[in-house]
Amino acid sequence: MRYPQKGITLQLQEILKKGTSQLRNIAERPLLESEILLSFILQKNRVFLHTHPNLILTNSQIRAIHKLFKRRENGEPIEYITHSVSFMEYFFYITKGALIPRPESEILIEKTKSLILQTNAKNVAEIGVGSGALICSLSLSCPNIQFFGNDISLKALRIATINIKRHSLQKRITLNQSSLLDKIPQNIEIIYSNPPYIQNNIPLPKPVLYEPKEALFGGEMGDEILKQIIFLTHQRKIPYLLCEMGYNQRESIEAYVQQFTPKKITFYQDLAGLERGFIIEFGG
């Protein structure tokens, strides 16, 4: 998109058309993303865009949307551009420094919620909270539970703190900067985690490269951090562990867990039918 010359105006519908064309090679739904970015600049909802197609944009608005279209065209995730991400029907603040929560992680939260209700657990911990979207969503649906979350990244914890405050969860969620199970309280009954599980040096799509590498890569085989969490959870005698994992890691995880003689291990699939996580019952 070119900047308009002095005296030249552009209507809202023309901007959307140009943006859709510009984003077609990077976005799966370029029109939708163009609408989201334009809504962000105008501070209006998408309905407004459709009901005001002939609205004339100012030169400063056109320049602003041009910059956002260019950032998205270059591969930057739209969530980082707008500082907003939807997860479990809630909206959360997000920016560079924290992993963007994926739809498949909603299954992990649903599984954890079901286990909380089943076991009547009162103290639950998340390893690697990132943006805080997962722990906030779970806390909002389980109001009588005390949650503890940690992360090695101070920047991620700052983002998570913003989301905790936005959803008024300060009394129910405690955060700590630490690694894996370090500083996890003794009374924790359930641990859940979406840890890094991608194999080192695996090529990733351009937008994913904007996300923090420490939240993506799990080691030479990809499952090293998962196995550390399993080992430490068993060592601490915490009864239950739920983790998201890579689609091709079931065999390795299943074999590793057997040395701890768990009461039960269950694997679950994502909506695409791929192996996506596991639930281990160690017993107390």
Q: Find out whether 69 and 2 touch, Cβ atoms under 8 Å.
A: no
Q: Report residue 9's pLDDT band, with 50, 70 and 90 as the boundaries.
A: low
Q: Comparing C-alpha atoms, which of 213, 110, 210, 192 is closest to residue 150?
A: 192
Burial class (CB in 10 A: 0-12, 13-18, 19+), 183: exposed
3-class SS of residue 1:
coil
Distance CA 187, CA 190 (A): 9
Please name the residue that has the structure tokens 């690694």: 179
**Length reported for the chain:** 284
CATH of 10-74, one of 3.20.20.70, 1.10.8.10, 3.40.50.620, 3.20.20.210: 1.10.8.10
Q: Report residue 7's pLDDT band, with 50, 70 and 90 as the boundaries.
A: very low
Q: What is the pLDDT of residue 108?
A: 99
Average pLDDT over residues 141-161: 98
Distance CA 192, CA 112 (A): 7
Question: Domain residues of the chain, as ranges?
Answer: 10-74, 85-281
- DSSP conformation class of 278: E
Average pLDDT over residues 98-122: 98
Average pLDDT over residues 5-26: 84
Percent of the chain with pLDDT over 70: 96
CA distances from 175 to 38, 142, 143, 170, 207 (A): 35, 17, 17, 10, 28
In this predicted structure, which of 2-11, 124-133, 272-281 has the lowest mean pLDDT? 2-11
DSSP E strands, the chain: 10-11, 56-57, 85-87, 90-92, 123-127, 146-151, 173-177, 190-193, 198-199, 217-219, 240-244, 264-269, 275-281
Q: Report residue 10's pLDDT band, with 50, 70 and 90 as the boundaries.
A: confident
In this predicted structure, which of 1-15, 135-149, 170-184, 268-282 has the lowest mean pLDDT? 1-15
CATH of 85-281, one of 3.20.20.30, 3.40.50.150, 3.50.50.60, 3.30.1370.30: 3.40.50.150
pLDDT > 70? residue 207: yes
Please name the residue that has the structure tokens 């065209």: 73
Average pLDDT over residues 153-180: 98
CA distances from 266 to 12, 166, 278, 282 (A): 51, 35, 5, 12
3-class SS of residue 281:
strand
pLDDT > 80? residue 1: no
Q: What is the pLDDT of residue 209?
A: 95
Distance CA 32, CA 34 (A): 5
